[in-house]
Structures are given as structure tokens and as C-alpha cells.
Amino acid sequence: MNSALLKRLFCAIQSGSGPDMDVLCRKVVEQEKKVGHLRVAEDLERILEAPARRAIQPAAPRELSALPTSKRDSAPLLQEVPRDLLRHAMVLPPAVEHRLHRIEKEFAARTRLALHGLQPRRRVLLHGPPGCGKSLAAERLAWNTGLPLLKVRFDTLLSSYFGETHTNLRKVFDAAATTPCTLFLDECDTLARSRNDRNDVGEATRITNALLEMLEGYHGDGLVIAATNLDSALDPALIRRFDEVLRIPLPSSQEIEGILRTALSAVITEIGMPWHHLALEMDGMSCSEVTQIARNAAKHAVLEGRKKVTESDMRFALGEIHERHHQSCNFSHV
């Protein structure tokens, strides 16, 4: 490779210019062909044409300051999820995948965006039915940005004492502003019910107003992610405070097949596994249920002393889920 081309490639890498890097990489391939390095050229072309998504440059790891605690009993208001426990493999509709990837790309390019007076999406609201993958999406964003994931502990954040919940919430947002992190408010409707709710009491309105104020004022170098099953119960003013509002739908049969294959990728499955037919039978199930079926099938195979997961293992696990659904329906009629 000549020195001029090498310098241009390094400049493109340093500036983070994706399109320029593509052009320059293809020039490298052409040059390797010209000098007779055909095998090297073929290997480089294979890498360029691979469908895998480009890796996002993670944030530099930073040590967290001491996590905030409640004043009354010094209980922690946040829980850090260790990085090695973060789940980050997702099978999503292309449109949803694109929007999550855009959040990650904007975070990686936040310095370049700032040069143009632009800010990345920092406040994200995820909504959808139970088990659709909202928590998994939050973990995936934390993983791909390199930010530590801090989950709000509503059991200690919420207090029956006047004004104490507001104080705890302020501590949480101050901590997020001090140290870059992914602040995750799961089931945020616990805090942010609509102020038009006729059953509302004064304290609930004050908490919602406080959350509105803190979201509006958040300018930390991290992400704030909220998740809810009940988007209709949220205050409309709260929804407007988010830079990205993203619905995570239940998986289609095609995505269910992808989830099954991903969940069982670490074990051996029998040749001829009817993935498509199994996925069709699971149509309407949530991401968490499909993942549970796959894991239970793998455990059943191990307990039966087999080295391969078979269709019978899958159907055994699927039957367990159907039985649980049946029991839930019986309980709901009691």
C-alpha cells in the first residue's frame, strides 16, 4: 500500500468518517489485486461485504462515584448491573433495529455533533407489551455505548413521607449527571402517571412535575432510558421530554425463529430441527417467553443425558408454557 493512501485511510479513521473509510478500503483491495496479492484481496473483500453491523466505539470506562442512598435508612437508590451480565443480542424488526443503532451511533459521534451545535439522543422512552424486550434493549444500549447500567430501585426511591421521593429522585439524577452512565427507569409509570388521572393525589402530581423538570434539565454525558408497558397512562408532557420514543413490538414468527436460533447457539441442535414450524406455533408470544422455551429445552436435553437439543425437547418446553398460560387464565377467573 502506498504511503499517500495509507495516510488518507488513517485520517478517515481518526475523523470517524464511515463513507470515506469504505472508499479507501476498496482502493486498498484494488491495489492489492494490481500487485498480485489476490488471496489478501479476496479476504479483504469478504470482510467489507460481511453483513455484520459495524461495532460502535464504546465510551471509555470510568469509575463510578459512590451510589446515592436514601436519607432515612441509607438504602441504595440505584443498582449497578455488572457489564458481564448485560444481555445485548437482540432480534428485532429492521426499523426498530435501525433506531436503536442510530442512538448508539449518535452517542459514539457526540463530540463531532457538538462541533456543529448538535446533541445526540440522550433521553429514550421504550414502550410495548410485557416481555417484548424493553429491558433487553436498555442493556443492549448500555453494552454498545460502554456505559455502566444503573437501575433505579423504586422500592427505596418511593417514600410515604412528604417530599422524600422528590429528594431521592434529585439524588438519582445528580448521580447520573456526575458520572456518565445509562440510567434506567424500568416501569416508569410508577412515577409518571398522567396528571389528568382523576384518582391522582397531590403528591403524585408533584412527583410527576419533578420528573419532568429533571428530564428537561438532564445534560449529562450518558443516557436516560425509561420503559413502560402502559404508555397511555403516562403524562403527555413527560413523553415530549424524550428525544426518542420507541415502541418494541412482540416478535414476528420470523423474528421468533431468529430468537430461538440465537438462544440455542451455544448448544448442539439436531439436524432438521423444524425452526420455522416451531416459530409459527409460538406466534404471539413475547421475546422473554420464546427465550425461556429455548433455555428450558436445552436444560431438558441435559437432564435427559443427551448432547443435542431435539424437537421433542422444544415441544416439551413449549407445552410447559402453554400449561402456564392455562393456569394463569384459571387464576384470573377465580
Amino acid letter, 320: E
When pLDDT is cut at 50, 70 and 90, the band that residue 27 belongs to is confident
| Average pLDDT score over the chain | 83
Q: Answer whether residue 58 shows pLDDT above 60.
A: no
**Poorest-confidence range of 18-32, 181-195, 259-273, 309-323?**
18-32
How many whole angstroms from its chain centre is CA 207?
Answer: 26
Quick one: pLDDT at residue 260?
A: 96
Give the architecture (CATH level 2) of 78-247.
Answer: 3-Layer(aba) Sandwich (3.40)
Quick one: pLDDT at residue 72?
A: 77
**Among 61-70, 185-194, 219-228, which range has the highest average pLDDT?**
219-228
Of 321 and 278, which is predicted with more confidence? 278
Quick one: pLDDT at residue 232?
A: 66
pLDDT (tens digit per residue) in 135-164: 999 999 999 999 999 999 988 888 877 688
Mean pLDDT of 234-243: 86
Quick one: pLDDT at residue 257?
A: 96
Q: Answer whether residue 51 shows pLDDT above 60.
A: no
Q: Answer whether residue 191 shows pLDDT above 80.
A: no
Quick one: pLDDT at residue 64?
A: 57
Task: Report the distance separating Cα 6 and Cα 10, nearest Å.
Answer: 6
Q: Is 171 left (phi over 0), alpha (psi -120 to 50) or beta?
A: alpha
pTM of the model: 0.75
Task: Report the distance separating Cα 30 and Cα 38, nearest Å.
Answer: 10
pLDDT (tens digit per residue) in 73-130: 788 999 999 999 998 889 999 999 999 999 999 999 999 999 999 999 999 999 999 9
Quick one: pLDDT at residue 333?
A: 47
Extents of the domains making up the chain: 3-49, 78-247, 253-332
Q: Is the dihedral of CA 122, 97, 87, 294 positive or negative?
A: positive
Q: Answer whether residue 55 shows pLDDT above 50.
A: no
Q: Answer whether residue 196 shows pLDDT above 80.
A: no
Quick one: pLDDT at residue 14?
A: 47
Quick one: pLDDT at residue 54?
A: 46
Strand-pair partners of 226: 125, 185
CB–CB of 118/275 below 8 Å? no
Distances (CA, A) of 134 to 141, 146, 185: 11, 18, 11
Quick one: pLDDT at residue 63?
A: 54
Quick one: pLDDT at residue 324?
A: 77
Task: Kindly report the number of other CB atoms within 10 A of residue 21's CB atom.
Answer: 17
Of 262 and 72, which is predicted with more confidence? 262
Of 71 and 65, which is predicted with more confidence? 71
- Does the domain at residues 253-332 carry the CATH identifier 3.40.50.620? no
- Quote the percentage of the chain above a pLDDT of 70: 80
- Quote the percentage of the chain above a pLDDT of 90: 54
Quick one: pLDDT at residue 252?
A: 95
Task: Report the distance separating Cα 231 and Cα 193, nearest Å.
Answer: 10
